[in-house]
Structure 1
Amino acid sequence: MNNDKPLISVILPAYNVEKYIKQCLMSISKQTYSNLEIIVVVDGATDNTLSIANGYSKLENRLKVIWQENQGSGPARNNGLSHASGKFIMFVDPDDWIGDKLIENMYVVQKEQDVDLVLSGFTDVVICGQQEKNDRIHRYDNETLLTQKSVRENYIRLFSIGALGAPTRKLFKTDIIKNNDIKFPDLRRSQDIVFNYRYYDFVQKLSICDEISYFYRRDPSIYVLKLKDNYYRTIILIYKDILALHKKWNINLNSNTLSNVMFTFIIAAIESNFRNGADVREILDSPEIIEIVINSNSKRIDRVLTRQAILRKYILMVKILVYVKAKLKNKLK
């Protein structure tokens, strides 16, 4: 790879990932695209994350390590953006890793039509006790949208298939981010969705590539436990923002598709509150949450039953259905 290729800044927000960060950094160092700037923002880690990152920086001269007091991954990514000097930005989570050619392949796709955003698929790696296994491949067909209208018309479709959730497995233009002061909001969960649609508002052209070599490590047994009792307010924020964007764009919105996606978030919020001993009545009393539930139209029997229980505020039934669904899902892993 010649150094006449543009600099790409790879930003990692890192908190207590001593078990995984070295594997992640090695996967970035081995990229066939070599003109990289690697920025690790250590977000108040209390384990050996900082010392491992500092040690690796002695072996990798493209790596810069920044320390900040614990604020969350959103502010950590904002900190990384403020230090980024690349023409493009890519986010990688430090408990994930990437295939050797991922960045090069995404850059080649970007260069073909000078698109503002490149999206790729990914591979789920599920933690099962002391073991890990590839669980599911999320592959998207190669596709390029060359007009702003087509980009905006396809937002809900791309959001519903998971292509616009995490900030990872994407290639962003730094100028769009900095010229429009696009930042991650100070939210502990789903701030990445907000960043993505704030950026998407300025996208004129985008490409989707069939790459699946971003390896997303997750532990389904603890995810919902990390959600705050008031996470439903974040769901409402996202829902309202997406509605407002489509109104601004003058693009018809498929409210059923949007509500089906948001319904999944609602179930996670309810399960988290049950497991953490928090009250769910505030969630079920929210007019916006009820609006989402009414507009959802999934035909899956578990969702049909849960939807009816929520609308009738049968809290015990909601609890039983949510727990049964979680048990079945974990049993299938």
Structure 2
Amino acid sequence: MKTLPLVSVLIPCYNVEKHIINAILSLNNQTYKNIEIICVDDGSTDNTNKIIKEIQLEYSFVTLISQQNKGILEARRTALNHAQGDFIVLLDADDKLESNAIYNSIQCLHEHKCNAALFEVYKVTENETHPFIIYTEHKIITGLEALKSSIGYWKISSLGVFKKSVYEKAFITFDNIKVESYNSDELLGRIALFESDKIILTDSKYYYTTNLSSNTLSFKMAWLEVFKTNKTIKEYLINNQIYAQIRSEFFNHYSIDFVRMQKHFRKNKKSLPKKDLIKYRNICLKSIRTLSFKEWLESIFNKNIPIKRKLKFLKSYLSLKLTLL
């Protein structure tokens, strides 16, 4: 490459005073130097804004934008609208990148003429770091293959270096869908994968921090919105005429979420008010309609869907259905 393209790193920030410095330091330590960092303070009530302003005194490539709290998706949109680079990276404020992650990815994009270079993902807890999404082959795949691999289990990540135009297109598509849920950012990521057309899987590392003792892991009724997102994913697949190719993966995707929600129901049954329990159970059971009766029959007899997955779902469904409140 004769000239190094500018890479914009987009960081939504909400009450991250304990983490934002480490995230920015991981970017300052990148071997790829032509970057800008756009932090969007999404209505923080702690010292996040103050800390970023102090960081700006030392690092001129950090931009701070403040807005009222709108959620992570809108914070990313704001950052994207202010990005000057031809390429973007999405980074959460409590996560970090390996020092050569951006350099390696840009090299891969240039060499193979791809629209996205995806990171491997490592989970970081208080005591250890372990692989979460690792690629056995660092190869080129299509947007359809990437989308298919993201449905059900996350076999690939939606984190990496993307052409800015890919996410601009993805936001337009997302806005036409018009869905609001707590995990709608995952839907946007999947749209971006499909819109990328040509993607390379790299060995660049993204370090995803998960705090098992965090309040963010406490029970939330908003988690049930995952079923709304699933219904929207199915509609998106149908509208793009690719649902038939991903039907098995979608059943896995839906059943994993259903089993997870049933476990939360069982775990919190004694602590939630009865009216919330009734609402919770009804939403879970109603979500069954995401698949038609014909699709349920096809899924039951589909040999590509593991028997263990079917039995887990059936057990969770019966447990929820027969629970006395």
The number of residue pairs the alignment matches comes to: 303
What TM-score do the two structures reach when normalised by structure 1? 0.79
Q: Find the residue that maps to 1:115 and give its secondary structure.
A: coil
Q: Which runs of 5+ in 2 are unaligned?
A: none
1:99 aligns with 2:98: yes
Q: Displacement, 1:171?
A: 1.3
What TM-score do the two structures reach when normalised by structure 2? 0.81
TM-superposition CA deviations, 1:140-190 (whole Å, max 9, x none) = 120113xxxx4324531244452555x5x3111112333675367673522
Q: How far apart are the structure 2 equivalents of 1:121 and 1:207? A: 11
Instruction: State percent identity of aligned pairs.
Output: 21
TM-superposition CA deviations, 1:36-72 (whole Å, max 9, x none) = 0100001111111111111111111000011111111
1:108 aligns with 2:107: yes
Q: Displacement, 1:226?
A: 4.3
* Aligned counterpart in structure 2 of residue 300 of structure 1, from 299, 308, 313: 308
Moved more, 197-206 or 10-19: 197-206
Q: Which runs of 5+ in 1 are unaligned?
A: 320-333
* Aligned counterpart in structure 1 of residue 229 of structure 2, from 231, 235, 238: 235
Q: Displacement, 1:13?
A: 0.3
1:155 aligns with 2:151: no
Report the equivalent of 1:329. Answer: none
Q: How far apart are the structure 1 equivalents of 2:2 and 2:66? A: 29
1:265 aligns with 2:257: yes
Report the equivalent of 1:328. Answer: none
1:70 aligns with 2:89: no
Report the equivalent of 2:183. Answer: 190
Q: Displacement, 1:240?
A: 1.8
Q: Find the residue that maps to 1:10 and give its secondary structure.
A: strand
Report the equivalent of 1:46. Answer: 45
Q: Displacement, 1:219?
A: 2.8
Report the equivalent of 2:34. Answer: 35
Is contact 2:95–2:208 with CA below 8 Å preserved after alignment? yes
1:9 aligns with 2:5: no
Report the equivalent of 1:323. Answer: none
The alpha-carbon distance between structure 1 residues 232 and 91, as it changes in their structure 2 partners (threshold 3 A), is: closer
Q: How far apart are the structure 1 equivalents of 2:40 and 2:78? A: 7
TM-superposition CA deviations, 1:10-55 (whole Å, max 9, x none) = 0000111111111111001111100001000011111111111111
Q: Find the residue that maps to 2:219 and give its secondary structure.
A: helix
Q: Displacement, 1:229?
A: 5.6
1:138 aligns with 2:139: no
Q: Displacement, 1:253?
A: 1.7
Report the equivalent of 1:218. Answer: 210
Report the equivalent of 1:326. Answer: none
Report the equivalent of 1:253. Answer: 245
Q: Find the residue that maps to 1:225 and give its secondary structure.
A: coil
Residue identity in the other structure for 1:214: Y
Is contact 2:122–2:208 with CA below 8 Å preserved after alignment? yes
Is contact 1:246–1:252 with CA below 8 Å preserved after alignment? no
Q: Displacement, 1:315?
A: 4.2
The alpha-carbon distance between structure 1 residues 193 and 78, as it changes in their structure 2 partners (threshold 3 A), is: same
Report the equivalent of 2:166. Answer: 176
Q: How far apart are the structure 1 equivalents of 2:296 and 2:219? A: 22
Q: Displacement, 1:134?
A: 1.3
Q: Displacement, 1:243?
A: 2.9
The alpha-carbon distance between structure 1 residues 200 and 154, as it changes in their structure 2 partners (threshold 3 A), is: closer
The alpha-carbon distance between structure 1 residues 186 and 308, as it changes in their structure 2 partners (threshold 3 A), is: closer
Residue identity in the other structure for 2:184: Q
Q: How far apart are the structure 1 equivalents of 2:2 and 2:35? A: 10
